[in-house]
Structure formats: structure tokens, C-alpha cells
């Protein structure tokens, strides 16, 4: 039997308002309804009431159905189909087949007890050419998903851009073009009008830094460019797109909140030398302040700006007023934490802690505490939610290493809350095993196993563990 718990159709209260006719009634959580709520044992770390226990995915990584119902191609379709770009030539054509299995996945989320689900909207599914008339069939998928979440009492958190720029817009220059920021804001506005009465939390960009570094500098992600100068211009236009989208959101007068999802890394000098401290500050500028300062303070860091070479195109790309626009008031910030960075006196990087199957993922839970408290210290009391944290493992269903990883990071998050950080939620990356970009399906990040051939779902040990965490509203260290 694939499922360890037999699920029964809920008889009462299952079909909440908003549940679409084709959505089978949500399944009840397993076990007798009257069983007492589990409680934390001695030493347990209780989280605040209403803490948003969640999980994350992104469209290209899970949906599949790449050419169905009018979806247009994105840069990731193009890139993954080019020879040698991804491990084993893997693509997201089928991914986790979430597009077709959405109700099964919704029931799995409900069974875990998730309070929040962070997904992304595929821009080219709803706007096949990136602009113009909406593709009703594509949009309908997100209505089904969001209605299904609400019917199960799970809060939808929608990301507008998780790296899958419509190919039609890439053909016009993509993020290297200033116009792309406005194209993005126009699409965002269409989403606010289409889904804004049901989605209360919006995230504009996912990890613009990764687009700049991997998409435009090293070229290992779509669109596969290796051009540092173009990368910095694209980075500015991404941020401009964020600001314009926030402004568009305010213009719709929708209720709800909006912000960005940034991957942040605490940066430490690798030794006690003044030179290492100096180099660490430079790296911190690139990794953190270059993104945080414009979004939350409405200005680029002076040292980062000054370090841009004379004649660098990014200097011309940043026009008067841009930084203030990027700094349109955000309601929240999504923090994605995976690893710390240790910088040597020469400006190199060293690894000081164990890593995972993803060699870049250095395991250092205290780094989560450090980055959360740092954001509060330097940027004020904006509500934070961890929008991604997790690890890949070669362990299959018995993923005890992932359990230990999440437990230790949650303990660090708990300490940060104790230190006064307004941390509202935590989203595990990822709900499902999925298409891990250039690594294809070789890295498995999910709480739920997705069979590489059949796409059948099976809960891993970490899923059972996380369900217990949610039920207890806390972690047993």
C-alpha cells in the first residue's frame, strides 16, 4: 500500500464554499476525528498561535503539461531542451505532473495539515506570449488550485515570477530590456484582478540574485548567458519589475499583502583579519544588501554602487527615481535560507560546515537565526516568512537527514522569534520531489516522493514528521 494511512472521504464540512464542481470533496485527515490534539513533550519548542506552517513549489518545477491548454514556452522550456544544459537532458515537460494531479496533491497537503502553500504562477501559461489577452484555460488551472486550497483551509501564497520568463519576451530581449519590468507589472496586475479576491499573499520575484548569477553570469540556468554586464542590468530591471508590480497591486485596491522572496546568506569573515572583514563586507553587498536595500530602503548601497566600474551598463540602467520605485512599501519579506558564506582575506570562499548532495548547501542552522535577526536589526520590523528552506538527500523515503536538517533550522527560527523577529511562517522546500533546474531529477528535495517513472506519490518519513510538527505547533529538539 502506498499510503500509510487510509484516507476517507470527508462527510461533513468538506465542500467549503468556493470549491469548484470538478474538485472532489477534500479528504479528511486520517484517524478518528475525536483523537486529542498531540502536544509537545518537555523541552518542546512551541511556535506562536497561527504560525503558517507551509511548503513551497514552483510552476516549472512541478506542473508539467508544458504544451497543454495553450501554455506558451518559457526560457526554461527552451533551455532544458538544449543539449548539455541539464543533467541527463532532463526537462520539465512532465515534472511532477502536478497540473494533472492537482487534487491528489491538494489532499496530500491537507493530510499534512499545511496552513500555507507557496506556489508560482507560470507567466506563459496565463499569457502564452507574455502580454495581451489571458489564456482562460491556463488561468483556470490556478483557479482550481486556489479554490482547492481554500476549500481545505490552506492559505495560498502566490509567487508571480519563479524564473520562467515567457520565451516570447526573451525574444524581445527579456530582462535586459527595461520594458520587461513593465511587461511583468502588467502581467502581475492581470493576476491581481483575476485571483486577487482569493489570494491574500503575493510574492513578486523569487530569488532575483539567482537569475543574475546563474542565468546571466555563469549561464548554468536559463537563459544561459555569460555576461556579467548584462547580468547586472537584468538584476536592476528585475527589481524595477518588483517595484512596478507592488505599485500596480496598490492600484487595484485589493486587500492582501505583497513583497519579494529573496535568498539571503549571512556572510562571515573566514578568519579574524581586517582584510577578511573587508572582503566579507563586499560579498555581503552583492549577496544581501544589493537586494535588501532597494526593496526595503528604496536605495542601492553606496559601496555597492561605487564598486560598479565606470562605464558599466548598470550605471546607466539605474535612472533617477528607480530606487525609490523599487522601494514601494512592501508588506512582508520572504526569506529563503540555505547556506552561510565564509570569506577569506583574499576574497575567496571557504566551506566550514558539512554539505549535502547539493555541494553549495552548507548546513549551518545558526545562519538562519543570524539572517533573520539581521534583517530585523537593519531593516526594521517588517513581517517575515521563511519561503524556502530544505535539503536534497539521496535517502529515499527514510529521509532522516532531512528531518534533522528541518528540526535544527526550525529550532533556529524559534530562537529568532524569541529574539523578537516577526516571523510568521516557514515553508519547506519542497512539497514534492521535482525538476531541480540544471540538476534535473537527480536531486530530490520533497517531503513527498514522486516516482521518477510513474509519478506516483508517497509520503516520506519527513512528511510524517512535519505533520507531527504542525499538529503540535512546535518542534521537539
Applying CB under 6 A, the residues found at the interface with ligand GCO are: 58, 61, 206-207, 210, 263, 336, 388, 429, 436, 445
Nearest to residue 249, comparing CAs of 167, 308, 332? 332
In whole angstroms, the minimum distance from the beta carbon of 229 to ligand GCO comes to 23
Q: In what order do the strands lie in the sheet with 349-350?
A: 267-269, 341-343, 349-350
In whole angstroms, the minimum distance from the beta carbon of 435 to ligand GCO comes to 8
Is residue 207 flagged as an active site residue? yes
Which helix (H) or strand (E) element contains residue 247?
A: helix 228-252
In whole angstroms, the minimum distance from the beta carbon of 129 to ligand GCO comes to 24
Nearest to residue 59, comparing CAs of 128, 123, 103, 104? 123
In whole angstroms, the minimum distance from the beta carbon of 105 to ligand GCO comes to 17
Angle between helices 136-151 and 179-195 (to 10 degrees): 50
Nearer to ligand GCO, 370 or 436 (CB): 436
Is residue 388 flagged as an active site residue? yes
Q: Give the count of beta carbons closer than 10 Å to the beta carbon of residue 304.
A: 16
In whole angstroms, the minimum distance from the beta carbon of 222 to ligand GCO comes to 12
Q: Of 29, 328, 362, 388, which residue is the catalytic one? A: 388
Nearer to ligand GCO, 327 or 466 (CB): 466
Nearer to ligand GCO, 78 or 182 (CB): 78
Nearer to ligand GCO, 318 or 405 (CB): 405
Cα separation, 444 vs 447, in Å, equals 9
Cα separation, 71 vs 76, in Å, equals 13
Q: Of 29, 63, 176, 207, which residue is the catalytic one? A: 207
Nearest to residue 326, comparing CAs of 238, 390, 256? 238
- State yes or no: cis peptide before 441, omega within 30 of 0: no
Nearer to ligand GCO, 206 or 330 (CB): 206
What nine digits make up the cell of 459?
A: 509520503
- Annotated active-site positions, please? 207, 388
Amino acid at each position: 500500500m502506498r499510503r500509510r494511512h487510509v484516507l476517507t472521504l470527508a462527510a461533513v464540512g468538506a465542500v467549503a464554499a468556493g470549491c469548484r464542481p470538478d474538485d472532489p470533496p477534500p479528504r479528511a485527515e486520517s484517524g478518528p476525528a475525536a483523537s486529542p490534539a498531540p502536544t509537545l513533550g518537555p523541552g518542546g519548542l512551541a511556535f506562536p498561535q497561527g504560525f503558517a506552517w507551509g511548503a513551497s513549489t514552483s510552476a516549472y518545477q512541478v506542473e508539467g503539461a508544458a504544451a497543454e491548454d495553450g501554455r506558451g514556452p518559457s526560457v526554461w522550456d527552451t533551455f532544458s531542451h538544449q543539449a548539455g544544459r541539464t543533467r541527463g537532458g532532463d526537462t520539465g515537460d512532465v515534472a511532477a505532473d502536478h497540473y494533472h494531479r492537482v487534487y491528489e496533491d491538494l489532499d496530500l497537503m491537507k493530510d499534512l495539515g499545511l496552513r500555507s502553500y507557496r506556489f508560482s504562477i507560470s507567466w506563459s501559461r496565463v499569457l502564452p506570449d507574455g502580454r495581451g489577452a489571458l489564456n482562460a484555460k491556463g488561468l483556470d488551472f490556478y483557479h482550481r488550485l486556489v479554490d482547492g486550497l481554500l476549500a481545505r483551509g490552506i492559505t495560498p501564497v502566490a509567487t508571480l515570477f519563479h524564473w520562467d520568463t515567457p520565451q516570447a519576451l526573451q525574444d524581445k530581449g527579456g530582462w535586459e530590456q527595461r520594458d520587461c519590468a513593465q511587461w511583468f507589472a502588467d502581467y502581475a496586475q492581470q493576476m491581481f484582478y483575476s485571483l486577487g479576491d482569493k489570494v491574500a499573499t503575493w510574492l513578486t520575484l523569487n530569488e532575483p540574485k539567482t537569475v543574475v548569477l546563474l542565468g546571466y553570469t555563469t549561464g548554468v540556468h536559463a537563459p544561459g548567458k555569460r555576461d556579467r554586464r548584462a547580468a547586472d542590468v537584468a538584476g536592476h530591471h528585475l527589481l524595477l519589475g518588483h517595484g512596478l508590480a507592488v505599485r500596480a497591486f496598490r492600484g487595484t485596491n485589493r486587500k492582501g499583502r505583497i513583497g519579494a522572496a529573496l535568498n539571503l546568506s549571512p556572510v562571515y569573515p573566514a578568519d579574524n583579519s581586517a582584510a577578511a572583514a573587508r572582503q566579507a563586507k563586499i560579498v555581503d553587498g552583492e549577496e544581501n544588501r544589493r537586494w535588501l536595500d532597494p526593496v526595503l530602503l528604496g536605495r542601492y548601497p553606496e559601496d555597492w554602487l561605487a564598486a560598479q566600474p565606470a562605464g558599466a551598463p548598470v550605471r546607466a540602467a539605474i535612472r533617477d527615481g528607480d530606487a525609490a520605485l523599487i522601494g514601494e512599501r512592501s508588506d512582508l519579506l520572504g526569506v529563503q535560507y540555505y547556506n552561510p558564506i565564509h570569506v577569506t582575506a583574499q576574497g575567496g570562499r571557504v566551506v566550514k560546515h558539512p554539505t549535502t548532495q547539493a555541494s553549495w548547501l552548507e548546513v549551518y542552522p545558526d545562519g538562519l537565526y543570524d539572517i533573520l535577526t539581521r534583517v530585523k536589526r537593519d531593516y526594521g520590523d517588517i513581517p517575515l516568512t521563511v519561503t524556502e528552506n530544505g535539503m536534497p538527500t539521496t535517502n529515499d523515503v527514510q529521509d532522516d537527514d532531512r528531518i534533522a536538517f528541518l528540526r535544527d533550522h526550525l529550532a533556529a527560527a524559534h530562537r529568532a522569534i524569541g529574539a523578537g523577529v516577526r516571523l510568521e511562517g516557514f515553508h519547506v522546500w519542497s512539497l514534492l520531489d521535482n525538476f531541480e533546474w540544471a540538476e534535473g531529477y537527480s536531486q530530490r528535495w520533497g517531503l513527498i516522493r514522486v516516482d521518477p517513472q510513474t509519478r506516483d506519490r508517497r509520503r516520506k518519513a519527513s512528511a510524517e514528521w512535519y505533520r507531527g510538527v504542525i499538529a503540535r505547533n512546535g518542534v521537539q529538539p
